[in-house]
Structure 1
């Protein structure tokens, strides 16, 4: 674990007992804390309250992919390898690319499972054979945690961790214990993802396969708002470009509209944001994330 001097040393952990609760619960404490996992009916009600359509199997598969990515990737030790431009090996642009690409890969796998099992409604999901879904989640766990997996940015997970530790050990504001190594960091991450996957599979054992879609979908509504792949993401992109075209909008009260990089066609940028944002050029990603701060444009 990388410790920045003066920083709270509590690290992001496993899945909380309730998907809408804080993401800081310790992965190893799940079994002790989890007297009763929320049932699919409980989750159905909460999802509806948050404006989703829990009876829409297409939507639930896609939103679950967002929640799985947020829970198994973004809200884990990965933040240690991202936070701090002088320490974490992953930049904001790197994370933007990895988050969106990972979501697409998870969604692709869940959609394939649904097609292969011939599931057309959430009633079908409730009655589905859990064995194929167990295999899907085991394979996803192996994929997420494979240290030799090449990320969309072109480097492996192991290299990201090794570079972060190297940066931290030479940074004056960091204190890295001697027993923290690339392997221990990877092991901690593996344990977190295993805990997250185990929570979902145990929920499915207790109830039915709807749990493994509803739980991460609910997590997404709390921890992954305005994320690529959510039902309201296209409308968010529409708002972003409307605000970028409106010099009188309150967003620009204290600063001018940041111009896009030279030669950039905003029509093409909008299209790529909706389809394959991980393919956007570095300069455009930097402009969207840091200059335009698109994630913080609400209306």
Structure 2
């Protein structure tokens, strides 16, 4: 692994200049212009932070390798990712309340100390790496890992990510760190539950289920034909819409697999 000390003074200088250009204002403008998000709204910002943490600390780890190995299906991943995002969001909201933030404006985050973020990161780490934690699929994290070595590999990844998560706040402030993590969530995972575009994505998905002429299904609707009839628990589209909006992790396995196969993640809201 390359160490910062291995880089030439010129490279180090350029990296420092690039880091200095990253400010709260740059992150805010990125959210506005690239994701259509109002970064001043604390609830929206926390949703995106939850997505960014889930993607960084959970999905972009050996979990993705386990998925590729067949330990988890695509439908399992959708359910677990949304469940984990919800858990991260609830802990972020609770942490804000404990920190005395009652405003709906994200500017209130500027008053939080970096030491308080270390407390938050510790809570997130303990939840994420708890081997007895039961996933929406029914198995525990330890059962998914299958071995002490695999579980330790995941723990190491989560520890590194959350260490970076807190470290950037020590350097440039809590609000900057959360804005940066929110940018990660907004730009890397626009197809995820809790993203501001998710409700529009769900509404379009429900509309096209009975419209074989929609371009999503191909020029002659052949993709819709190959997909087949919805599983029993997905046939009531009103209930399906409510579940997708509120708690996708509660979908049963056949419905989750069918929805992923239908390409909900590839729809343009």
TM-score range for the pair, normalised by the shorter chain length:
0.7 to 0.9
Q: Which residue of 1 aligns with 2:87?
A: 105
Label 1:141 to 1:39 Cα distance change in 2 as closer, same or farther (>3 A): farther
Q: Which residue of 2 aligns with 1:20?
A: none
Checking the alignment, whether the CA contact within 8 Å between 1:65 and 1:103 is kept in structure 2 is: yes
Deviation per CA, 1:54-96: give whole Å up to 9, x if none: 111111111100111111111111111111xxx3311222211
Aligned with residue 127 of structure 2, among 120, 138, 143: 143
CA RMSD after TM alignment: 2.3
Give the superposition deviation at 1:133: 2.5
Q: Does 1:154 align with 2:141?
A: no
Mapping 1:199-278, distance limit 5 Å: 199-252=164-217, 253=220, 254-257=222-225, 258-262=228-232, 264-278=235-249
Checking the alignment, whether the CA contact within 8 Å between 1:200 and 1:211 is kept in structure 2 is: no
Give the superposition deviation at 1:140: 0.3
Give the superposition deviation at 1:122: 2.1
Q: Which residue of 2 aligns with 1:18?
A: none
Please give the TM-score of this superposition, normalised by the length of structure 1.
0.76
Task: Write the distance in 2 (CA, Å) between the matches of 1:133 and 1:207.
Answer: 13
Give the superposition deviation at 1:31: 9.6
Please give the TM-score of this superposition, normalised by the length of structure 2.
0.84
How many equivalent residue pairs?
250
Three-state SS of the structure 1 residue aligned to 2:61 is: coil
Three-state SS of the structure 1 residue aligned to 2:97 is: helix
Q: Which residue of 1 aligns with 2:9?
A: none
- The answer for unaligned runs of 5 or more in structure 2 is 7-11
Checking the alignment, whether the CA contact within 8 Å between 1:200 and 1:215 is kept in structure 2 is: no
Structure 1 stretch 105-114 or stretch 262-271: which is displaced more?
262-271
Higher helix share: 2
Task: Write the distance in 2 (CA, Å) between the matches of 1:158 and 1:296.
Answer: 32
Task: Write the distance in 1 (CA, Å) between the matches of 2:61 and 2:112.
Answer: 30
Checking the alignment, whether the CA contact within 8 Å between 2:230 and 2:255 is kept in structure 1 is: yes
Give the superposition deviation at 1:278: 0.8
